[in-house]
Homo-oligomer: A and B are copies of this chain.
Amino acid sequence: MLGTMLENVRNTCPLVHNITNYVTVNDCANILLACGGSPIMADDQAEAAEITSICGGLNINIGTLNSQTIPSMFLAGKQANALHHPVVLDPVGAGASKLRTETAWKLLEEIRFACIRGNISEIKTLASGSGTTKGVDADAADKVTEENLDDVVAFVKEFAGKTGAVIAITGAIDIVADSEKAYCIRNGHPMMSRITGTGCQLSAMTAAFLTANPTQPLEAAAAAVCAMGYAGEIAHARLSELDGNASYRNYIIDAICNMTPEQLEKGAKYEVR
């Protein structure tokens, strides 16, 4: 079933508008192309809503938000809502500064998100203001473990119910949930945290999956998360002794590029709670 989600991306080539950070934007564009989507980036207020209109989905990432691009996020988000396009939020660093936290909260108030993807600390910050972040990484105290997994799943389902969005928390164990059903995903490799922007790339790709699968946002997001983690495994198996995080970054995007729906179906490691 998750393989079908990827197949639909490949068949429909969804055009995704990204208002995202300048750190990882190139990788976001290349992974969108790798999965079968098509990227466009436009963040000026004079065109943000118009570019959203010609796209099928929108990805808002606050990684290097600024006074010029924040208003564009709202303009694009509202336009996407008006057109019933899925909108993904990546609240990079929410909790790390007042600007990030308050912008993320305000986005949540004014925009209807189909999916919110972040690390556990960012999502906790959005939900309750209680999360802490170490820069753009999750705080160790917030870590999702086998021991606290049921509690976290309950928290995620509740937050999904409150926001109406699919919530995707990624880390050692990924949780993708709506208010009723949670995919607990065990794909991926620890070395992924030594690459900048695997989270940003996943958010961009999730927007493509949601756009191509409009009636199944939960399964679409779960498929994107499994695909990213599985690509991390395939890419890791390919590393030579001399390869490090830069080659690993390329190999992960390569793995998405070559992944077939059948492979994803077989490679996805999840349970439903």
CB-based nearest B residue for A70: B44
Report the contact-size class of chain A (Cβ under 8 Å from the partner). 35 or more
Contacts of A51 in B (CB 8 A): 96-97, 135
B15 & A43 in contact (Cβ 8 Å cutoff): no
Interface residues in A255-269 by Cβ distance below 8 A to B read 255-258
A194 & B67 in contact (Cβ 8 Å cutoff): no
B258 & A196 in contact (Cβ 8 Å cutoff): no
In the complex, how many angstroms separate the beta carbon of A101 from the nearest chain B beta carbon?
Answer: 10
**Known interface pairs A244-B255, A245-B33; A41-B21 also in contact (CB < 8 Å):** yes
Interface flag for A34 (CB, 8 Å): yes
Q: Contacting A196 at CB < 8 Å: which of B15, B29, B46, B250?
A: B29
**Known interface pairs A22-B25, A26-B26; A40-B93 also in contact (CB < 8 Å):** yes
Closest 6 CB pairs of A and B: A244-B257, A244-B254, A246-B253, A29-B196, A246-B250, A47-B97
Residues of A within 8 A of B (CB): 15, 21-27, 29-30, 33-34, 38-47, 50-51, 54-55, 63-68, 93, 96-100, 134-137, 194-197, 234, 238, 241-247, 249-258
